[in-house]
Amino acid sequence: MFNLVLFGPPGSGKGTQSTNIIDKYNLVHISTGDILRSEVNNGSPLGVEAKKYMDQGMLVPDEVVIGMISSKLDENPDVKGFIFDGFPRTVAQAEALDNLLDFKNNPIDIVLSLLVGEAELKTRLISRGESSGRSDDNEEVITKRIKEYHAKTSPVSDYYKRNNKLSEIKGEGTVEQIFALLSEAIDAHIE
């Protein structure tokens, strides 16, 4: 089994690059952002609760997200591996994920961290907001999401650095160039 975390600030290209990685390496994609948006669209109790946080650029509470991940792992018992996209976003989530995977004897193999400057992040997210209509892609909410990232999510990269799992990847350039760098890091790890 091969388990990969794709890490980075909002708009760093996690969702974009995950699509390429799952195709090439045949991994199951778990995106907490996608799962939460689908719950919001379905109007489920979880979605109604999550929307309050997402619309303000805040992280959804850990216990909600950890419960979602635990169910997804149980739904996919015999797979080649997972790509975790947008999860973990807090150190508590990272510890919970380690516990869930240790229990299954399939730890995280590699964490790929996309490095993108703040001006580029804002440009990308504002442009995505114009085409997608996502309620969290306007300037005010984007600023809050980036602040939330620095306060709560960026310590996750230190957590994985301490565990010797972190590889930093330049996340600016064309989608193809960045995918080539990600593939190189994955291939080096698999070989």
Footprint on this chain of ligand B4P (rule: CB under 6 A): 8, 10-16, 32-33, 36, 53-54, 59-60, 65, 86-87, 89, 93, 124, 128, 136, 145, 174-175, 178
DSSP bridge pairs for 170: 115
Cβ-count burial of 158 within 10 angstroms (0-12 exposed, 13-18 middle, 19+ buried)? exposed
In whole angstroms, give the CA distance from residue 161 to residue 180: 22
Cβ neighbourhood burial of 170 (10 Å; 0-12, 13-18, 19+):
exposed
CA distance readout (Å), 49 to 76, 131, 148: 26, 25, 18
Residue placing its CB nearer to ligand B4P in the complex, 94 or 110: 94
Q: Which is nearer to ligand B4P, 104 or 147 (CB)?
A: 147
Exactly one of 37, 124, 145, 165 is catalytic; name it.
Answer: 145
Least spacing, CB of residue 153 vs ligand B4P, in Å: 8
Among 111, 146, 105, which residue's Cα sits nearest to residue 125?
146
From the CB of 60, what's the least distance to ligand B4P, in Å? 4
Q: Which is nearer to ligand B4P, 42 or 190 (CB)?
A: 42
Query: Of residues 37, 72, 89, 165, which has the active-site annotation?
Result: 89
Residue nearest to ligand B4P (CB): 33
CB 10 within 8 A of CB 142: yes
> Any catalytic annotation for residue 134?
yes
Q: How far is the CB of 84 from ligand B4P (least distance, A)?
A: 9
| Residue 124 is among the residues annotated as catalytic for this protein | no
Residue 89 known to be catalytic:
yes
* CB within 8 Å of 175: residues ≥ 6 apart: 13, 16, 17, 20
- Work out how close the CB of 134 gets to ligand B4P at its nearest, in angstroms, rounded to a whole number: 8
Point out the catalytic residue in the list 122, 128, 144, 161: 128
Residue numbers annotated as active site: 14, 89, 128, 134, 145
